[in-house]
Structure 1
Amino acid sequence: MENTTPKLGIIESDPWLEPYSAAIEGRHQHALDKELELTGGKGTLSDFATGYLYFGLHRTRRGWVFREWAPNAKEIYLIGDFNDWKEHGDYRMYRVKNSPGVWEVELQSSAIRHGDLYKLKIRWKGGEGERIPAWANRVVQDEQTKIFSAQVWEPEHPYQFRKKVFRAKTDPLMIYECHIGMAQEEEKVGTYNEFREKILPRVAEAGYNCIQIMAIQEHPYYGSFGYHVSSFFAPSSRFGTPDELKELIDTAHRMGIAVIMDIVHSHAVKNEVEGLGNFAGDPNQYFYPGSRREHPAWDSLCFDYGKNEVVHFLLSNCKYWMDEFRFDGFRFDGVTSMLYYSHGLGEAFCNYGDYFNGNQDDNAICYLTLANKLIHQVNSKAITIAEEVSGMPGLAAPIQDGGYGFDYRMAMNIPDYWIKTIKEKIDEDWKPSSMFWEVTNRRKDEKTISYAESHDQALVGDKTIIFRLIDADMYWHFQKGDENYTVHRGIALHKMIRLLTASTINGGYLNFMGNEFGHPEWIDFPREGNGWSHKYARRQWGLFDNKNLCYHYLGDFDSAMVHLIESVKNIQDTPVIEVWHNDGDQVLAYRRKNLIFVFNFNPTKSFTDYGFLVPVGAYDVVLNTDATVFGGNGLADDSVRHFTNFDPLYKRDKKEWLKLYLPARSAVVLKKVKE
């Protein structure tokens, strides 16, 4: 009998997935079954993911209650400032009836005070140790001893959000990726307050409508860039208090800026006292057993996504940041590592079979699907982005269509392409057809976040686009009037690369803090090898502000570009229609809605009266990389209105010739004049 069951949407839209329909349907059903198992069919995932309201330390009408999940423990005590860090009978925890592995202690109001430091003293068969609670929402480090402790955070007057309702603007989504600690000019760790006062206004002025904050979850080693997390529910105290983070987010919302965070659920730091590595004498309480426990490349531990208690912990973590701090969503780090037993290491991913060959962790796929469903239950307008390099089909497709539910996936091919081009090809070999294909190469049913360069390229050992283009000449020839050929070339190509990347988005665009104005230094966090210096763990905004230097040309252009793209409502949903490319001339033209983008990548040849067939009408120049205000040569008169020229051959198509002067190594954007 013929199977009449409707195909899932991602199979309908991509027939090449048909041979793998059983695997796709199996993964989809796995998530539905797990959701039913977790909720018991009596509520939603949002109702289920409330562990942060139960576990950890909470005020009650009668005083305090503290709970922890520690199935391997034999004895647990709260120790801290309140009992001289000694085991005391009043602070002893007891197992909760009918709740396997859960421990609890109730305390009087006077037993604990706001600001007290505390830990758990846990005994297990064959050992004992001090631990920071897994659900701690505030963790601090002693400046002298460098020891981390949990801290009671119950201020008498907690922060009250002034912006009651906020909905992120995603038409299009223009993301400014940032790091609180290194956002300051001073050689130190920046704070939430300093970021709110000094950096948010810059972001708003530049036109970005979303910030993506790195390194929020507490991490013992500052130089990990926030990717070795120890306390998943604690905002990093090195930047300030939880209330100061709330005020930052509230202020951003009042400025119309959405706030998403880099969330790390792909792995955890190995630390045992500060982290979850051996929480109650069980190294596998939160993590996979055996050879799957440790990540072979990251020196970290891999969560056991098949364990319901771990799924509860991670789902609750997602909801906590949205509920408590009002984050608008997440960029999930290391998704490729989660999807595959091999963590994607050494995999080529050449054909669809590589995504359905038994190397996939169905537990992790199930978790990510449930996480996306939960997040959008909490906030239907939430933003979720997957940092994923393998190209797994369906990652950013709707769950009901058989996808995993992310709103966007990172277009990780684009920065790789630009760096490879700059490193390996002479200017004469830059082919517009190749560029255009790369920036538009994506699945039609999935939205992406395009970006020209990643934060990884700014780290020691690698180079940003501007450094690849100009290198040491940035130190000697970036004074206005002293630019040499290398600097002029670098400035021109930096603008063109960003314009081509940003103007072809089908979802959103991302820029890492400082890259927009060509920040000259690499990022090197304080470490023993550099004498624990903060010299390279900061952003030198003064370079952009100094109008005698060339940096502001790049920053000013970036702002003009962002504002232009945002001026076209839902530009990301409009087709990118190629008008022309000629690899010999190195010229490319395409249009979106009422804008026409024209690029001449030729390093030596300028073209006069270069013609393109476009819709009939008049066109004004609205952006030109060669304008003098952006450090260009100003060879074209941008005040001239351009009219199309009639050609009887194309009368039926309602197209005429638009003829332009195209200076070498420049790009121009024209807007059709309303009739």
Structure 2
Amino acid sequence: MLNQATLAALMAGDHSDPFSILGMHQVDGKLTVRALMPGAVNVALVEIKTDRQLVSLERIEGSDIFTAVVPRRKNPFPYRLRIDWGSHQQELEDPYRFPPILGEMDVWLLAEGTHIRPYEKLGAHLTEMEGVSGVSFAVWAPNARRVSVVGSFNNWDGRRHMMRLRRECGIWEIFVPHLAAGDLYKLEIKGQDGSLHLKADPFAFRSELRPNTASVVQPIAPVYPSTPERRQANSLQSPISVYEVHLGSWRLVPDDGCRWLTYRELAEQLIPYVKDLGFTHIELLPVSEHPFDGSWGYQPTGMYAPTSRFGTPDEFRQFVETAHANGIGVLLDWVPGHFPTDAHGLARFDGTHLYEHSDPREGFHQDWNTLIYNYGRKEVANYLIGNGLYWIERFGIDGLRVDAVASMLYRDYSRKEGEWIPNQYGGRENLEAIEFLRRVNGIVHTQRSEATTMAEESTSFPGVSRPVEQGGLGFSFKWNMGWMHDTLKYMQEDPVHRRYHHDQMTFGLVYAFSENFILPLSHDEVVHGKGSILSRMPGDEWQRFANLRAYYGFMWGHPGKKLLFMGSEFGQYAEWNANSSLDWHLLEYPVHSGVQRLIRDLNAVYRHFPALHQLDSEPRGFEWISHDDRDNSVFSFIRRADDGDFIVVVSNFTPVPRHAYRIGVPQEGNYREIINTDNNVYGGSGVGNGMLRANPVGSHGRSWSLEMTIPPLATIMLKLEP
């Protein structure tokens, strides 16, 4: 007989080891079976092999626990429970008759925090045990008093499927027979203080559409094949021109309540659009499940679940496959820097500060009202590192753009004196975060060598995109935030004043090859009152568009990979509004369609001529012709390829055409304009040169030179004819 304390604990859902009591056990030499069945009238034991009812279980008085001694049996055997619910009968497999789920090696690696693919073991997995199909559940909650799987399959009753604790690693597990894909579930966690927490599964592969927050049983996606083509497309020497997109507001369907496009519709509309404009990659604002639309995905609660806003995980994978079939790589904004405080998420997951720091000086982002991961806790780091690999390995994501790296690197990020805790050496660097980032990059690059990683990092932290073995963080690329801020500030100046700010356009070349840079004009630059890129350009209507086109030409000529946020490619007037569609109607006007055509042509020449991309990260790929013509606000430089082929780039950032302007060039021959942002087809004034012949007249330290007309507020690119 069970004592009253054990009965009370089981009935209250407060027993930490239900597997030691429930199910089939040898007790005092007798084979005994026990089942906790709230609401049942009668329970009987059925032998699976013979399909015979062997014994009826008796209810223990004052409880919903049924028990019986199995007659004439000594050894455990497979069985089912035949349950009379009063209104109907049902036969169920008893989850407490099945063995542990995790193997010894998995337990070892998970406890050590070195399991490269924790998502293959933790979470919910469709599986078969002892010939029975169902779902295995496993969750890390080492400080919980009790953990249960709840859902409609057990009336959300935490007493029905209390899990087994693997004390070696702090993971709770259970196999629930008969569950299938599409079933909803959550984890009911009782803390040591008796508090109940109803949580979504941190490793759930699918989630309900907000505002609902349950996890959904979903088959894990198969491993996505690696190809030499993807590896080449993501290399340092390849053209990388990125179109950054927020899927919820790129284009809405006006005839259907202005709803979002689905993943399938995005594959049909967005991918051809990106391909037509010549972008090599598309970067998605975070698609990990998130509760609040207004966070744009940057406050995720379901790191392993593509958001259900646009469809299923399978449909998201098909979106990626469509992109690849069209030669487009897919990059994903990835957020390991912080997470929201929503009750169903990771905050105080097992009743303690498990994923986050307990001290708000370490564990709370004041800027975003979010929590900070405890990177020093090996299981937390393993959860995140596995997630980065998961997106690449299971969905074919080509690269991770890691969000808010600067906030991760420094303990005093956006904090006043006394609001942060120094590291063990008294410094401001977050040593645990630095080690975490190195591990992420190391594992991603060794496990999937075709993948790339990109850091949104705005400080002077050294070696962000240098190998770990050389003391770097190991990223493939770093966003060049300094270039972005300097050049945008310059472009906002009235042309008559630009001579006094000339260095803002040249300073980026002082450090251009210290990292592998991406030049970003991202979503952050077109929100929160900053206006659109076009709206920052000075002058009348014509000058604003001319400035924009000249700026884009300068950007595509400048060393560094390119990134442009959606809407900027056709000169949207208004700043980005995540709640509405882009202003596609503007393309009816030539000035806007002209900007779009320029982007298409810039991408075409960028991809076609290795001089514009091959040596982006090497000093030998760039050479100034003139960087000091402040009075005319003219910049001229040479971009070179590995074989010595070159492109000449000249920008004039005043509305005055510069006639008979001479620049030195490397060699004699005919030079053809391959880009002129003042071309009529782009909405310009049509001032240009067509073909130019180099003369043996010395200029800028060279024996040959070109005499040209530089159009007003324009960038031109010149190619030596063979």
DSSP 3-state at the match of 1:115: coil
Higher relative contact order structure (alpha carbons within 8 Å, sequence separation ≥ 6) = 1
Task: Report deviation, 1:673.
Answer: 0.9
2:682 to 608, 617, 630: 630
- The reply on whether 1:538 has 2:581 as its aligned counterpart is yes
Specify which structure has the higher proportion of helix: 1
Per-residue deviation, 1:103: 0.3
In structure 2, the partner of 1:656 is 704
In the alignment, which residue of structure 2 is the partner of 1:11?
A: none
How far 1:438 sits from its partner (Å)?
A: 3.2
Cα deviations by residue, 1:133-172 (Å, 9 ceiling, x for unpaired): 1111111136xxx2211011139xx789699665141412
2:307 alignment counterpart: 236
Deviations 1:91-144 (A, max 9, x none): 221112533x11000122x2x1221111111112221121111111111136xx
Quote the Cα distance in structure 1 between the aligned partners of 2:119 and 2:699.
65
Q: Which amino acid aligns with 2:205?
A: N
- Counterpart mapping for 1:354-365 below 5 A: 358-365=427-434
For residues 445 and 371 of structure 1, the distance between their equivalents in structure 2, rounded to whole angstroms, comes to 22
Corresponding residue of 2:73:
none
Q: 1:197 aligns with which of 268, 281, 291?
A: 268
Query: Matches of residues 179-328 of structure 1 in structure 2 within 5 Å?
Result: 179-186=246-253, 187-273=258-344, 275-328=345-398
Structure 1 residues 288, 213: closer, same or farther in 2, change over 3 A?
A: farther
| 2:718 corresponds to 1:667 | no
Out of 681, 686, 692, the residue aligned to residue 642 of structure 1 is 692
Cα distance between partner residues in 1 of 2:472 and 2:407: 18
Counterpart residue identity of residue 501, structure 1: M
Q: CA deviation at 1:279?
A: 0.9
Judging changes above 3 Å, is the alpha-carbon distance between structure 1 residues 397 and 285 closer, same or farther for their aligned structure 2 residues? closer
- Of the candidates 149, 167, 172, which is equivalent to residue 214 of structure 2? 149
Cα shift at 1:212: 1.0
User: What is the rounded CA distance, in whole Å, between the counterparts of 1:602 and 1:422 in structure 2?
Assistant: 10
Amino acid at match of 1:644: A
1:139 partner letter:
S
Give the drift of 1:431: 5.6
Written as runs of structure 1 = structure 2, the 5 A alignment for 1:251-650 is 251-273=322-344, 275-345=345-415, 358-430=427-499, 433-442=502-511, 444-451=513-520, 453-469=521-537, 486-506=540-560, 508-525=561-578, 534=579, 537-544=580-587, 546=588, 548-569=589-610, 570-572=614-616, 573=618, 575-581=621-627, 582-593=629-640, 594-603=646-655, 605-615=656-666, 616-638=668-690, 641-647=691-697
User: CA contact under 8 A between 2:399 and 2:451: conserved in structure 1?
Assistant: yes
Q: Alpha-carbon deviations, 1:32-82, whole Å to 9, x = none?
A: xxxxxx999999x99732110010011223232110000121112111121
- Cα RMSD of the aligned pairs, angstroms, is 2.8
- Asked whether 1:175 is paired with 2:250, we answer no
Q: TM-score, normalised by structure 1?
A: 0.82
CA shift for structure 1 position 310? 0.7
Give the superposition deviation at 1:631. 0.4
Q: Distance in 2 between matches of 1:382 and 1:663?
A: 41
1:136 to 195, 204, 209: 204
Distance, in Å, in 2 between the alignment partners of 1:333 and 1:297 is 14
| Separation in structure 2 between the aligned mates of residue 414 and residue 339 of structure 1, nearest angstrom | 21
Q: Specify whether residues 233 and 596 from structure 1 end up closer, same or farther in structure 2 by C-alpha distance, changes over 3 A only.
A: same
Matched residue type, 2:654: N
**Which SS does the other structure have where 2:540 is aligned?**
helix
Q: CA deviation at 1:286?
A: 3.9
Distance in 2, Cα, partners of 1:160 & 1:48: 17
Tell me what 2:67 maps to.
none
User: Structure 1 residues 596, 423: closer, same or farther in 2, change over 3 A?
Assistant: closer
SS at match of 1:141: coil
Unaligned runs of 5+ in 1: 1-37, 348-353, 471-484, 526-533
How many residue pairs match? The answer is 586
The aligned residue for residue 84 of structure 2 is none
Larger deviation, residues 301-310 vs 132-141 = 132-141
Cα displacement (A) at 1:424? 5.0
**In 2, are the aligned partners of 1:395 and 1:406 still within 8 Å (CA)?**
yes
* Residue number among 186, 192, 208 corresponding to 1:119 in the alignment: 186
Q: Distance in 2 between matches of 1:448 and 1:205?
A: 25
How far is the alpha carbon of 1:220 from its aligned partner?
0.6
SS of aligned partner of 2:208: strand
SS of the residue corresponding to residue 232 of structure 1 reads strand
Aligned partners of 1:543 and 1:185: how far apart in 2?
15
- 3-state SS of 2:298 partner: coil
After the TM superposition, which of the residue ranges 264-273 and 411-420 deviates more from structure 2? 411-420
SS of 1:71's partner is: coil
1:246 to 1:51, Cα distance in 2 relative to 1, 3 A: same
Letter in 1 for 2:695: N
- In structure 2, the partner of 1:20 is none
Q: What's the secondary structure of 1:239's corresponding residue?
A: coil
Does the 8 A contact of 1:249 with 1:325 survive in 2? yes
Question: CA–CA distance in 1 between the matches of 2:598 and 2:382?
Answer: 46
Residue 233 (structure 1) shift = 0.9
| Higher gyration radius (CA) | 2
Asked whether the 8 Å contact 1:339–1:361 carries over to 2, the reply is: yes
Distance 2:162 2:227 in 1: 40
1:531 corresponds in structure 2 to none
Distance 1:425 1:637 in 2: 26
Residues 658 and 290 (structure 1 numbering): CA distance in 2 closer, same or farther, change over 3 Å? closer
CA distance in 1, matches of 2:355, 2:188: 17
Give yes or no for contact 1:397–1:445 (8 Å, CA) kept in 2. Answer: no
Separation (CA, whole Å) in 2 of partners of 1:305 and 1:179: 28
Equivalent residue letter for 2:125: H
CA contact (8 A) 2:689 2:708 kept: no
Q: By how many angstroms is 1:285 displaced? A: 4.0
- Corresponding residue of 1:481: none
CA 597–236 in structure 1, closer or farther in 2 if over 3 Å, else same: same
Summarize the Cα distance change of 1:609–1:215 in structure 2 as closer, same or farther, 3 Å threshold. Answer: same
Q: Is the Cα contact below 8 Å between 2:534 and 2:544 reproduced in 1?
A: yes
CA contact under 8 A between 1:421 and 1:430: conserved in structure 2? no
Looking at structure 2, the residues matched to 417 and 662 of structure 1 have their Cα atoms a distance apart, in angstroms, of 23
Identity in percent: 27
Query: Larger deviation: 574-583 or 114-123?
Result: 574-583
Residues 499 and 632, structure 2, Cα contact 8 Å, conserved in 1 = no
**Partners of 1:238 and 1:490 in 2: how far apart?**
37
Matches within 5 A, 1:156-171: 166-168=229-231, 169-170=233-234, 171=238
Residues 204-258 of structure 1: CA distance to partner in whole angstroms, max 9, x if unpaired? 1111111111121111101011111111111111121101110011111111111
The alpha carbon displacement at 1:326 in A equals: 1.3
Distance 1:610 1:358, change over 3 A: same
Which amino acid is the alignment partner of residue 314 of structure 2? D
CA 1:596–1:196 in structure 2 vs 1: closer, same or farther (change >3 Å)? same
Q: Which amino acid aligns with 2:623?
A: I
